[in-house]
Amino acid sequence: MPNLLPCRVLLISTVFLAETVFLTGFGVLHAEDRAVDVTKTDIATVQFATVQFAKDVRPILNEHCVACHGGVKQAGELSFGYKEHVFGPRESGGPIVVPGDPDASELIRRITTDDDTERMPPVDEHPEGLSAEEIATLVQWVRQGAEWGEHWSFVRPVRQPLPVVADPDWCRQRIDQYILARLEQEGLAPVPDAAADRWLRRVTLDLTGLPPAPVKRIRFIEDVREQGEEAYAVAVERLLDSPHFGERWASVWLDLVRYADSKGLGLDGRRSIWKYRDWVIDAFNRDLPYDQFTVEQLAGDLLPEATMDDLIATACHRSTQSNEEGGTDDEQFRVEAVVDRINTTWQVWQGLTFGCTQCHDHPYDPLRNIDYYHFMAFLNNTADSDLNSDAPLLQTPLDPSDYETARKLDQQMEAAEQTLWQTGRKLVTDQSLWLPVRGLEAAATDDTEMAVEPSEEGDQYYTVGTVYKNTGFVLNAPLPEELAQLTALRFTAFPLDPQASLANPEWGFVLSHLKAELVTPDSEEPVVIEFAHVIGDEPRPLLDPQLSLNAEHDDGFAAFSRIHHPRTAVFVLKHPVAVAPTTRLRVTLEFKRSSGGSHPLVARRGSLATSGDAQWTSWLNDAQLTDTRKTLAQLQERRKAIPSVALPVMRDRPENIARPTYRFDRGNYLNKAEQVSAGTPSVMPPLATEGVPNRLDFARWLVSDENPLTARVAVNRFWAQLFGIGLVETQEDFGSSGEPPSHPALLDDLAVRFSEDMNWSVKQLLREITLSSTYRQAAVIRSDIRERDPRNRLLAHGPRNRLPAETVRDQALAVAGLLSEKLHGPPVHPPLPAGVWDPFQAADKWTTAERNDENRYRRSIYVYMKRTIPYPMFASFDTPSREFCTVRRITSNTPLQALMTLNDATFEEAATALGRRMLAGAETLPEQLKFGLRLSTGREPSADEVAELESLYQQLLEQQPQAQQEPAAETSEEEERVTPEEQAMAIIAGVLLNLDEVLTK
């Protein structure tokens, strides 16, 4: 019970406390904080008169309160994530916060009371409690009016005024002004510009992932001398236009969308999805605006007039893992893929840890558990379902110049298929044409137990207990009395439990063969009915229903591999068959397929209906439709002639068999709660749509002007690639548990300009950053800065980071003169250390490209990326194995890396080639060494470096006789004669390729 008297006393004491803190406490705190970590000063500089919720109050609540009063645990039904909990009426006691009145606010009472049993946070679990400063901040916040603000990243960014700087001449670009203002505020001076060629190496590696060729370097130095500043712009332009630009930036994107050339879990077999990788490369090269880039990948298939490229783009979310292990549950791994798509989408585009809400409300951010499932509804209806075939697949022409023709053919074929299907389907759904079959008798061809029950639409057979693989059902029934002739037979399959199967779909079926006979008591031989056509219940099924007529083929009409709804196929007779009243129908259904060699795919409940209507025969013989069928066949022939590769893509299931979406209780897919519709989180801007929103609406919502996160997250990612660390360091978490931005105004300004002024042009964004003074600075780490800002968040010097794995390898090949510049194509197989390739699936071969095959020397982005056997060079240099979305790589520095670049076959080959290149490139030893140094470091070498290597060369030559006494190593691909000079120079080249400077940008 609140006690007035102590409260009044307390109020006085808190005011006193607060002011004391104001006078002394913050000053001290501020100074200390600055000494430790400059980025924290944003938070620490709490100006007492202007306590801001998001900046000052939210961090305190997150640190001390939300573990119990957050999204996960809402002790006392209180979560500090939700405004209504904090200000709303409460069942017991007064509101948590009464704006302007700390005295009446339960929050303040509970954090200041002397009563250990009441004081928050509870003393037993949090002995440290709240500090005096924190209490003062909260009190002041309430007194000020308890303004409630959403976390900064949920508020739409706006253009920011340019800060005033003392040295405007230093700034070449708008971004420089923000950087300099902060440096000036901290009393730091930027480092002078890098030498022209060092900048050139940096920007060439950053924009293309390759080192500058020596000739480019010489020309650039001349250009700078002649044209000055203009030369830099010209160089950046040239690099942005390079086809290698796309290769470099695609590899960043592929980490995010967990691209791999294998399927993951289980067998990790090959997946042919490289056409998507090429699409990403091209998208960067043609500077596809980031908004379109987004929409095409998430919903390219739903775009009106979707092009082949739009469809290829949707393979983005087909790079989720699938499980081919025998005996697995397809639905489990389908759901896991959908969950991965949700989490990845939110990580990549929104920088939010939305995945938390799969099981509960978000612990820190105002995202609710239910939001997760509303969002799932956008992605839950795609036709893929963890099938070994990776279906649905798009036949993608190998040659992009065929894209347009192929797409046109596909569209014509789809139109023809639609026409045929719809005209047929109209008859199928016309109930007046059908007579249900009653008096059904059912028996299985094996031990499966069967029963029959009547229903309004005719008798239904169903199985009791276990069904076996390869089972067959024989259905016997009198024909409906009214029936004079038979023109069509309808088979309907139901889930065994139709209601439960909507939420937890049962295994589906594949009707491998349907055989129908007319049995007349008088005649001995039953008459086998001849069918001409099967009309399934979807226009583009994964398996062809016609195959149910082919006894030799296991495929056919199917609910593959799960059944949610009743499924109908109609078998149209070639010719009408007259039936006598005593004629009985005998239908044999065969089910030969199983999932993963384990779960039999059998229609466990079904019914039959018959039609004698003449419309079926006329549908079959309709001249126009016959023409359409003929045209379709011709189109199919022409399409087949275009060499293509099958690519897994996104496609939605048709509405009549759409999967409903349910919330999972506690995130477990086996425990379905209420059904949900598609929608975006309520804390985010509303999604504009007419009718039921779909994936396309969602994709457009992501890149709409109102979305507060997409542009911020994108510019931050590009920034981080160039500077080694993002403006928001936690690129993966822009939520309130992530790090605040080091330069909030810069981030917002850049985000707004990226989406508006630059029209989402990535090249324009990169142009501005790479031409800035911030980026131009030398990478010299002054000792004062190293102490104060070890991670270079203030950018008082240029970026200096270890190159990514791909660049380390590509650079070595380029410097050695081995690199193939060929773009695109299927994965390649460069040398691999012996014993590494031991795939679980033996059929997955690694055939190493020989020395005369340029695929041995292709860029790293083309190397076959197998999830369970990562390419060792990439793995040791921190490339993720692409199981899940990886937002940033954490760079390590290990002896295994040294062993790799010293001894690995690729690097050995590169060193040998570079050594030969050096020997051939100049007459004298010093010139040869200088040539090598220039090639590898992209700058003019110093005399002492040359002297060091000269001395090494002499020592190595002196050692040579010794070397020849060594027993010859066992393995060598080609016994080439290596002269002592070549051997020595190869070792020197190896030194060059291992220089810290070379491995670093």
Partner 1 sequence: MPNLSLGSELAFRQLEQRTRRYFLGECATGLGALWLAGSNQTASAQGDATTATAALHHVPRAKRVIFLHMIGGPSQLELFDHKPELVRFDGKQCPKSFIESQQFPFIRGIPNMMGPQYPFAQHGESGAWVTDRLPHFSQVVDDVCFIKTMQTDQFNHGPAQLMVHSGQARIGAPSIGSWVTWGLGSENENLPGYIVLLSGGRPPRVGKSLWGSGFLPSVYQGVQCRSQGDPVLNVSNPQGVTRDARRLALDSLRRLNERNHQLFGDPETLTRIAQYELAFRMQETVPEAMDLSAEPEHIHQLYGAEPGKVAFANNCLLARRLIERGVRYVQLFDWGWDSHGSSEQQAINVGFRDKCREADKSMSALLIDLKQRGLLEDTLVVWSGEFGRTPMRESRNGERKFVGRDHNPHAFTLWMAGGGVKGGTTYGETDDMGYTAALDPVPLRDFHATLLHLLGIDHTRLTVPFQGLNQKLTTVIPARVIDKVLS
Range in contact with partner 1 (rule: CB under 8 A) among 303-311, 354-362, 427-435, 811-819 = 354-362
Q: Does 881 bind partner 1 (CB under 8 A)?
A: yes
Q: Which stretch binds partner 1 (CB under 8 A): 239-247, 406-414, 709-717, 986-994?
A: 986-994
- Alpha carbon of 880 to those of 248, 651, 730, 868, 886: distances in Å? 16, 28, 17, 11, 7
Does residue number 945 form part of the binding site for partner 1 (CB under 8 A)?
A: yes
Record the tokens describing residue 268, joined without a space. 């990790």
Binding of partner 1 by 323 (CB under 8 A): yes
Smallest distance from the beta carbon of 709 to partner 1, in angstroms?
15
Asked if 995 is part of the footprint of partner 1 (rule: CB under 8 A), the reply reads yes
336 binds partner 1 (CB under 8 A): yes
Is 59 one of the binding residues for partner 1 (CB under 8 A)? no
Does 948 participate in binding partner 1 (rule CB under 8 A)?
A: yes
Which position among 215, 972, 974, 977 is part of the footprint of partner 1 (CB under 8 A)? 972
Among 691, 890, 924, 943, binds partner 1 (CB under 8 A): 890
Least CB distance from residue 389 to partner 1, whole Å?
A: 19
- Tokens at 513, concatenated: 């063969």
Residues 585-604 that bind partner 1 (CB under 8 A): 596, 598, 600
Q: Which residue has the tokens 């499980």?
A: 323
Residue 94 binding partner 1, by CB under 8 A? no
Contact assessment for residue 596 and residue 327, using Cβ atoms and an 8 Å cutoff: yes
Measured from the CB of residue 628, what is the shortest distance to partner 1 in angstroms? 44
Looking at 756-886, list the stretches that DSSP marks H as alpha helix, in order from N- to C-terminal side: 762-770, 773-776, 783-788, 805-815, 872-876
- For 51, the 3-state DSSP assignment is coil
Between 575 and 786, whose beta carbon lies closer to partner 1?
Answer: 786
Cα 959 to Cα 918, 965, 983: the distances in Å are 21, 11, 11
CA 776, 778, 784, 785 torsion: positive or negative? positive
356 binds partner 1 (CB under 8 A): yes
Residue placing its CB nearer to partner 1 in the complex, 54 or 440? 54
Determine, following the binding rule CB under 8 A, whether residue 834 of this chain makes contact with partner 1.
Answer: yes
Q: Does 884 participate in binding partner 1 (rule CB under 8 A)?
A: yes
State yes or no: residue 554 binds partner 1 (CB under 8 A). no
Our CA angle for 26, 30, 33, nearest 5°, is: 135
Looking at beta carbons only, is 173 or 774 nearer to partner 1?
774
Give yes or no for residue 836 binding partner 1 (CB under 8 A).
Answer: yes
Measured between alpha carbons, how far is 657 from 380 in angstroms, rounded to an integer? 12
**Residues contacting partner 1: total by CB under 8 A:** 108
SS (H, E, C) 160-173: CCCCCCCCHHHCCC
Segment near partner 1 (CB under 8 A), from 224-232, 289-297, 435-443, 885-893? 885-893
- The answer to whether residue 506 forms part of the interface with partner 1 (CB under 8 A) is no
Tell me which of 103, 296, 537, 904 binds partner 1, using CB under 8 A: 904
Residue 708 CB, nearest distance to partner 1 (Å)? 18
Q: For residues 622 and 948, which CB has a smaller minimum distance to partner 1 in the complex? A: 948
Q: Which is nearer to partner 1, 295 or 993 (CB)?
A: 993
Q: Which stretch binds partner 1 (CB under 8 A): 8-16, 601-609, 843-851, 952-960?
A: 952-960
Among 893, 920, 927, 979, binds partner 1 (CB under 8 A): 893
Comparison of 279 and 723: residue with beta carbon closer to partner 1: 723
Binders of partner 1 among 905-934, rule CB under 8 A? Answer: 908, 911
- Interaction between residue 673 and partner 1 (CB under 8 A): no
d(CA 949, CA 915): 13
Least distance from partner 1 to the Cβ atom of residue 955, Å = 5
Residues 101 to 120: which contact partner 1 by CB under 8 A?
A: none
Rule CB under 8 A: choose which of 93, 326, 643, 686 binds partner 1.
326
Residue 870 interacts with partner 1 (CB under 8 A): yes or no: yes
H/E element holding 778? none
**With binding defined as CB under 8 A, does residue 789 bind partner 1?**
no
Among 279-287, 488-496, 654-662, 902-910, the segment contacting partner 1 (CB under 8 A): 902-910
Q: How far is the CB of 267 from partner 1 (least distance, A)?
A: 7
The answer to whether 158 contacts partner 1 (rule: CB under 8 A) is: no
- Give whichever of 257 and 486 is closer to partner 1, judged by the CB atom: 257
Helix axes 623-640, 403-428, angle to 10 degrees: 150
Q: Note whether 959 binds partner 1 by CB under 8 A.
A: yes
Q: Tell me: does residue 979 bind partner 1 (CB under 8 A).
A: no
517 binds partner 1 (CB under 8 A): no
Does 781 interact with partner 1 (rule: CB under 8 A)? yes
Burial class (CB in 10 A: 0-12, 13-18, 19+), 650: buried
Cβ distance 492 to 562 under 8 Å? Answer: no
SS (H, E, C) 464-522: ECCCCCCCEEEEEEECCCCCCEEEEEEEEEECCCCCHHHHCCEEEEEECEEEEEEECCC
Rounded Cα–Cα distance for residues 554 and 490 (Å): 20
How far is the C-alpha of 313 from the C-alpha of 301, rounded, in Å? 9
Residue 223 makes contact with partner 1 by CB under 8 A:
no
DSSP per-residue string spanning 907-943: HHHHHHHHHHHHHHH-SSHHHHHHHHHHHHHSSPPPH
Of how many residues is the chain composed? Answer: 1001
What letter would DSSP give residue 854? G
Q: d(Cα 732, Cα 729) in Å, to the nearest integer? A: 9
CA torsion, points 196, 201, 202, 205, in degrees to nearest 10?
150
Prior bond to 826 cis, omega within 30? no
Asked if residue 130 lies in contact with residue 64, where contact means CB atoms within 8 angstroms, the answer is yes
Site for partner 1 in 457-496 (CB under 8 A): 465-469
Closer to partner 1 at the Cβ: 294 or 321?
A: 321
Minimum CB distance to partner 1 smaller for 67 or for 98: 67
Cβ atoms of residues 591 and 512 within 8 Å: yes
C-alpha distances in Å from residue 279, one per residue of 311, 345, 639: 10, 19, 21
869 lies in the binding site for partner 1 (CB under 8 A): yes
Shortest distance (Å) from residue 396 CB to partner 1: 27
Considering the rule CB under 8 A, would residue 35 count as an interface residue with partner 1? Answer: no
Interface with partner 1 in residues 259-318 (CB under 8 A): 264-268
75 in contact with partner 1 (CB under 8 A): no
CA dist 329 and 363 (Å) reads 31
Residue 93: what are its φ and ψ, rounded to 5°?
Answer: 75, 180
Q: Which of 25, 355, 495, 556 binds partner 1 (CB under 8 A)?
A: 355
671: contact with partner 1 by CB under 8 A: no
Half-sphere exposure (Cβ direction) of 484: Cα atoms closer than 13 Å: 2
Interacting stretch for partner 1, rule CB under 8 A, among 91-99, 300-308, 359-367, 541-549? 359-367
Q: DSSP strand E in 639-777: where?
A: 644-648, 661-664, 672-676
Q: Which residues between 728 and 767 bind partner 1 (CB under 8 A)?
A: 729, 732-733, 735, 737, 739
Is 128 an interacting residue with respect to partner 1 (CB under 8 A)? no
Part of the chain binding partner 1 (CB under 8 A), chosen from 94-102, 162-170, 616-624, 867-875? 867-875
Do 694 and 679 contact (CB within 8 A), yes or no? no
Rounded to the nearest 5 degrees, what angle is found at the Cα of 157, between the Cα atoms of 153 and 162?
A: 125
Residues whose CB is less than 8 angstroms from the CB of residue 916 and which lie 6 or more positions away in sequence, other chains included: 982, 985, 986
- In the complex with partner 1, which residue's Cβ is closer, 247 or 268? 268
Choose which of 83, 159, 426, 791 interacts with partner 1 (CB under 8 A). 791
What is the distance between the alpha carbons of residues 318 and 225, in angstroms, rounded to a whole number?
A: 50
